[in-house]
Chains A and B, each alone.
Chain A
Amino acid sequence: MEKQYLFTADLNVKNLACLRNEQVLFSGLNVSLSPENVLFLEGENGSGKTSLLRILCGFRLPDEGDITWGNQSISSVPEYSQNISYVGHKNGIKDELTVEENLNLMRSMATASDIETESVLKQIGLFKQADVLSRQLSAGQKRKLALARLMMTNNSFWILDEPFTSLDKATVVFFESLIKQHIARGGMLILTSHHDIDLSGLSVHHLNLSN
């Protein structure tokens, strides 16, 4: 059994609205999420899933509404964003660095987890490619490396935007089990996905942004 996360709190979104190109993507959105819970965002393309995730990460400012983390506004709690592991459309890895250098960089920048880089490389199946420049990896391998970020830090709040694009089945199964471990440790997860994800046994809330 892994150690429980120390830093967790309830996330509350109240009356959130987001405009894009002068069009309302969503408005009056109310969501709350507690530790050990998963929020699954649904909705057709362009319904604002990514925008919502970016607002939760603090990259975008909401056009209306409040987001609170443990009853404090997220902008007044710097620890909030430091506790996020975000994997978005962009992988956030450097093409000019090797696989191992990328992993070590992810670790050194945040509250590191106890897991060894070598063990991460073996688990995601990139051990042989450790010294290969990331530029030479395939799209799926790059995605694996981006998702490995989740294992390198000890963050309790994961935000994943289409995490499993171009991944093979075995890797998807591996990351599904990683998600289950994360939730069991008291973590929180918000994700979008057009793939079928096996989240059986977890408490999953669905939110459809289309309507």
Chain B
Amino acid sequence: MLDAWLQIFKRDLLIAFRRRSEIIHPLIFFVMVISLFPLAIGDDKVLLQKIAPAIIWVTALLATMLSLDNLFRSDFEDGSLEQMTLLKTPLSLLVTAKITAHWFITGLPLLLITPLLAVLLYVPTEMISMLLLTLLLGTPTLSLIGAVGIALTVGLRQGGVILSLLILPLYIPVLIFATLALQNSAQGFSAEAQLAMMLAILVLAITLSPFAIAAALKVSLN
């Protein structure tokens, strides 16, 4: 069972490596949108510093949504998904392999480039670790929740718009707790409560969403 999980995980990493544009496009989107803000706002250090967490988080949220689009699409179109439902390993477990691979491909690069972009927005250096921590706890949740929406819309011709209407509202709790954590720590307060909530949401998403995703994929196949 674990073997099949690893096979799918390795397969998805290999495919992403051979089709690099899928890794790079969301990342470029992330970098470009964030760098538009200093250009538009001007060299207002205080203002940029104040809204930096919001900018980075909202952009991360949109970039994640953009990158998710292809999570199940190619498997759906080439018939791999049908074959996956016939396997011994439950589909709910196999989708976690796909999402983990997807996070390594798109979430991790986002995290790695954030410190650079934070400097662009005058985020104080002591704040960067907190920013990364919220992204580390938040982006996997975004991937898991988004995957449910993707799984539901993969069979539709124009799933893109419906998808954003479907999953953006579900992203709001993560966004609120992440930006609140950053505000608190900027003002010198403890952000533990918000981080704990984010961790709780992540655990909830890990335990429940694979079943929802598997069920949604089966509906899409029907």
Contact = CB atoms under 8 A, between A and B. Distances in A.
A206 interface: no
Nearest to B89: A109
Contacts of A149: 83
A105 to B, nearest CB: 6
A58 B78 contact: no
Contacts of B85: 58-59, 81
Nearest to A61: B222
Contact of B79 (A91, A101, A105, A133): A91
B120 interface: no
B79 A96 contact: no
Contact-size category for A: 20 to 34
B88 A92 contact: no
Interface in B53-93: 74, 77-80, 82-89
A82 interface: yes
Query: Interface of chain B, helix or strand or loop or mixed?
Result: helix
Nearest to A108: B7
Contacts of A133: 18
A58 to B, nearest CB: 7
A25 interface: no
A188 B78 CA distance: 25
Given A59-B222, A97-B15, A109 B87 contact: yes
Contacts of B4: 108-109
A60 interface: yes
A155 B87 CA distance: 11
A67 B79 CA distance: 24
Nearest to B219: A61
Nearest to A79: B88
Given A57-B82, A90-B82, A108-B4, A82 B14 contact: no
A60 B218 CA distance: 8
B11 interface: yes
Contacts of A96: 14-15, 18-19
B23 interface: no
Contacts of B11: 94, 97, 105
A198 to B, nearest CB: 27
Nearest to A80: B86
A150 to B, nearest CB: 12
8 contacts: A82-B86, A86-B86, A90-B79, A90-B82, A93-B80, A97-B14, A108-B3, A109-B89
